[in-house]
Structure 1
Amino acid sequence: MVSRKLCLAQDPEADKLLSDDDFALLTGMLLDQQFPMEHAFRGPQKLADRMGGFDIRRIADTDPAEFEELASTPPAIHRYGRSMGRRVQELAHFIVENYDGKTSGLWTLGDPDGKEILKRLKALPGFGDQKARIFLALLGKQGGLTAGGWREAAGAYGEDGSRRSVADVTDAETLTQVREFKKQAKAAAKKA
């Protein structure tokens, strides 16, 4: 576990969980789609509150129907609470089966370089190329990751000083800057 102090959920308790628990951070990244970023990163805290703590093995071992209910109970962890609950459980199973429940193994096991970490992240259920690159950039920019070549593997998300993704959010101001970047990128894509 890397020591970090994140401000992604814009909520002190939720951000502390993200800072302290690698699987909580990975879960927040999984939930960050079709949902406001800071709400997605509050999802792990909602689960922790309902489960009496956040534990990857308990998440993996919980009855699927019961876990879907926990994920979709208002306020749900995501706009699509049940389906995202299933994805969180799939992710927990994957980490337990492939990394013995140690999420950090994704970026530490065998001293991988940035390309290998990206490959491992892309193999996760619910993680495509873009989500994997953003998470790699988040690890490098805010998680203390020192693996060689991580910036190159993260692509534009790894650029120093950029404001294009959750990897660049360190406070309310940078969250606003990232939102503005995304808004401009969306407008430019519509014109193209």
Structure 2
Amino acid sequence: MALHLATTDEGNALLERDPLALLLGMLLDQQITMEKAFTSPSVLAERMGVAPGEHLDAAAIAVLPPDTLLEHFRTPPALHRFPGSMATRAQQLCQAIVDDWGGDAANVWTGVDDGAELVRRIASLPGFGDQKARIFVALLAKQFGVTPPGWQEATGDYGQPGHRSIADVVDDESRVKVREFKKAKKAQLLEQA
């Protein structure tokens, strides 16, 4: 299945082949549109001189001078609404991938025993909390076939059929439904406040 998370074919192709790009997209998916968040890794790759068909390198990002990475994030169009803090988080994430997962983001979900362990692994990454981890695990399961035992229980509502998160975006129509769901949830939270 072809991804529909980024706004460009190049962006989606990178997400499909590059686990680090997918993690970075999820990291950036806050306070900007999900499409922007998941397109930004391909823009970063281009700015870093990553050849078409190649991958982002966690080690290269981890050792990049922070000012250089910030410039990659800040150059128009900026990769995020908050380029400074998100460049720092991206670099911290890449350093954790190098230190704890051998430099390969896919190692985070390879060989995992069950869904709860996978949620714990993702939640332990810089920039990820419990909710973001559950959404990401649902994305891995629904669109990448990473389905350790208990993944649906571990992801809660995000593992169920429906249009609750980026995990459920498979085309333009589902993207609209996810956006409507998020808008309704936000309105509900405002009413409760």
Q: Tell me, in whole angstroms, the C-alpha distance in 2 between the residues paired with 1:50 and 1:29.
A: 19
Q: Tell me, in whole angstroms, the C-alpha distance in 2 between the residues paired with 1:81 and 1:168.
A: 27
Aligned-pair RMSD on alpha carbons?
1.1
Which runs of structure 1 show a deviation greater than 6 angstroms over 4 or more consecutive aligned residues? none
**2:105 counterpart SS class:** coil
- CA deviation string 1:45-68 (max 9, x = no partner): 111111111222211121111111
How far 1:122 moved relative to its partner? 0.8
How far 1:83 moved relative to its partner? 1.3
Counterpart of 1:24 in structure 2 is 21
Contact 1:96 1:102 in 2 (8 A): yes
Q: Tell me, in whole angstroms, the C-alpha distance in 1 between the residues paired with 2:65 and 2:113.
A: 34
**1:42 counterpart SS class:** helix
Q: Tell me, in whole angstroms, the C-alpha distance in 2 between the residues paired with 1:47 and 1:186.
A: 30
**Letter aligned with residue 96 of structure 1:** V
- CA deviation string 1:121-180 (max 9, x = no partner): 1100010111000000000100111210011101100002x1010000011111100000
Q: Which ranges in structure 2 are unaligned for 5 or more consecutive residues? A: 51-55
Q: Tell me, in whole angstroms, the C-alpha distance in 1 between the residues paired with 2:143 and 2:34.
A: 16
Counterpart of 1:74 in structure 2 is 76
> Percent of pairs identical after alignment?
50
Contact 1:10 1:171 in 2 (8 A): no
Q: Tell me, in whole angstroms, the C-alpha distance in 1 between the residues paired with 2:7 and 2:44.
A: 17
How far 1:108 moved relative to its partner? 1.2
Report whether the alignment pairs 1:123 with 2:124: yes
Q: Tell me, in whole angstroms, the C-alpha distance in 1 between the residues paired with 2:104 and 2:49.
A: 20
| 52-61 vs 15-24, which moves further | 52-61
**Letter aligned with residue 22 of structure 1:** P
The count of residues paired between Structure 1 and Structure 2 equals 187
**2:145 counterpart SS class:** coil
